[in-house]
Amino acid sequence: MKIRIIVDPDLCIGAASCVTIAPDTFIMNMENKAEVIDHGIMPDAPMYERVIDVTEDERQNIILGAQSCPTLAITIFDEDTGLQIYPTA
């Protein structure tokens, strides 16, 4: 399945908990902000928004990473349905 992951750099304070939990999906940049990568690699360089293809286990772990963010800077959408997966309303 495909998910769209968006990091809000204005909210990110560099806690890096997402990197700890989901290191294949998040990486810290030189501004101390989290950016999104694709399974440990970064085609087109890291970026604050990216669509990646994940397994169900990977999806669950990425959601855990997003949930760990103390500033709720990470939003995840199901790319096929357009529905927001995290944060839930």
Per-residue H/E/C for the chain: CEEEEEECCCCCCCCCHHHHHCCCCEEECCCCCEEECECCECCCCCECEEEEECCHHHHHHHHHHHHCCCCCCEEEEECCCCCEEECCC
Which of 13, 51, 53, 84 is in the footprint of another protein by CB under 8 A? 13
Contact pick of 39, 60, 70, 83 for another protein (by CB under 8 A): 70
Contact region with another protein (CB under 8 A), list: 35-43, 45-53, 63-71, 75-83: 63-71
Q: Does 60 bind another protein (CB under 8 A)?
A: no
- 10 sits near another protein (criterion: CB under 8 A): yes
